[in-house]
Chain A
Amino acid sequence: MKPPVFDYAFVEHLDEVVELLAADGGEARLLAGGQSLIAMLNMRLIQPTLVVDISRLPDHDFITLKEGVVEIGCTVTQSDLQLWPGLAESLPLLKRALPWVGHRQTRNKGTVCGSIAHADPSAELPLCLAALNGEAVLYSSRGERVLAAHELQVGTLETACEPDEMIRALRFPRAVPGVGYGFGEVAYRHGDFAIVAIAVLASTEGVRIAVGGVSEKPEICEWPLMEDRFLNDALNDLAWKLGTTEDQHATAYYRRSLIRKLGRRVVGEALACVG
């Protein structure tokens, strides 16, 4: 059998989840949709003693409009969010990015919170949370605390979540009038992890650009609004600053070239949407 041996617990209450996490001394893993976890188990990259199934945790399948944010519970799948009627109006960046997240069959199981907890440096949802400066609501037996995206993701597959904490919900800031949103990605195959992914927020004030796939976590850069010819220079500077990763998928040269060309396209797309 592919996955290693582990114990399994099906839980129906939040406090039961954090009790199990605390009791197991950091060796337990949460299973929500399992689209990252089970692939990792199959490859035996991780060997948890206990898998805690939170996929049917009651009252956590919410997508709620609150003041300034959309709050998304930890059992909401990526497909649920994609089908949410308020998506285009409230989270236009995610509307653009979600089709790039895996494939339909994986989005049907994979959760939004799970992708954030997995913290893959080339994944789309952590990039969007960072670009929008969203927050994660963490829960443990010690209570609740809220971390901003840049505080949450600390490295490759690494978050600031303590071993006994879980991401209970995420808060994505809602679209603001006068801001345009853009998203673009280059991968070997649609649905694969990005070689470079770029999310942009643009307004008449300036541009906020988030780049994924080039370092351990999403990189953010902000520029005041500039003339078109200066944008190329700014992207070139950014490419040299960020595009140094070289691996079996892409050379540093190719990554820098993608930051320039894809960056240009996505900034243009975002500026075109400024209302």
Chain B
Amino acid sequence: MTINVGATVNGKEVSAEVEARTLLVQYLRDHLGLTGTHVGCDTSQCGACVVHVDGQAIKSCTILAVQCEGANMVTIEGLADGDTLHPMQEAFRDNHGLQCGFCTPGMVMAAVDLVTRYPRPSEELVREQLEGNLCRCTGYHNIVKSVVAGAEAMAS
């Protein structure tokens, strides 16, 4: 059974004919070629696949593409403005907020979402809010530093 799924991704109208069982992350990666969103665990544990759907952060490995018909989505590719990185991306670079980089797209998307809710988060709040995102390099200390700095940059 195939279904046509149309949506707005990073400001562009897109559509693709997909099997009903296609996960959103596969739709983004395999059908739209947006491979910035990573697949880690496929069971909503690790957060590498976090994207924004209609303004809400979700894990794209545990949602079907068909559930996002007509939705407005933002992926990691949609954050930068041309060559200018988003302040949160810049903060990850400045604070060495990544080691192998696999978890980073999910971390950044989760961080941007948390800053929209808590504009000036404390370190403690960042740790609590990022509990759905795992870093197998265990680089949490610098990730938290990056998010706090990114929040500061987004506010100014």
Chain A interface residues (CB < 8 Å from chain B): 1-8, 10, 31, 34-35, 38-39, 41-43, 51, 53, 55, 79, 102-106, 108-109, 189-191
Contacts and interface: CB of A to CB of B under 8 A. Distances in A.
Contacts of B20: 5-8, 51
B66 A1 contact: no
A55 B110 CA distance: 23
B1 A42 contact: no
B89 to A, nearest CB: 19
B58 A190 contact: no
Contact of B132 (A1, A2, A41, A105): A105
A3 B66 contact: no
Contact of B57 (A2, A5, A104): A104
Interface in B55-73: 56-59, 61-64, 66-67, 69
Contacts of B64: 8, 31, 34, 38, 51
Contacts of B15: none
Given A5-B20, A108-B56, 18 more contacts: A3-B21, A3-B23, A6-B1, A8-B3, A34-B67, A38-B23, A38-B61, A41-B21, A42-B43, A43-B42, A43-B43, A102-B132, A104-B114, A105-B44, A105-B59, A106-B62, A108-B58, A109-B58
Contacts of A55: 67
Nearest to B66: A8
* A interface, over-half SS: loop
Contact of B50 (A34, A51, A105): A105
16 contacts: A1-B23, A2-B23, A5-B19, A5-B21, A6-B1, A10-B66, A38-B23, A79-B56, A102-B44, A102-B132, A105-B50, A106-B58, A108-B58, A109-B59, A190-B128, A190-B131
Contacts of B37: none
Contacts of B26: 1
B37 to A, nearest CB: 13
Contact of A105 (B3, B21, B23, B47): B47
A46 B110 CA distance: 30
* B interface, over-half SS: mixed
A34 B19 contact: no
A79 B56 CA distance: 10
A157 B66 CA distance: 26
A3 B62 CA distance: 10
A184 B108 CA distance: 30
B10 interface: no
A143 B74 CA distance: 42
Interface string B111-143: 001100000000000001101100000000000
Contact of B129 (A104, A108, A109): A104
A108 B58 CA distance: 7
Contacts of B19: 1, 5
Contacts of A104: 57, 113-114, 129, 132
Contact of A1 (B22, B44, B56, B62): B22
A122 to B, nearest CB: 15
A31 B58 contact: no
A232 B129 CA distance: 35
Contacts of A191: 131-132
Contact of B110 (A7, A10, A42, A105): A105
A184 to B, nearest CB: 16
A70 B94 CA distance: 48
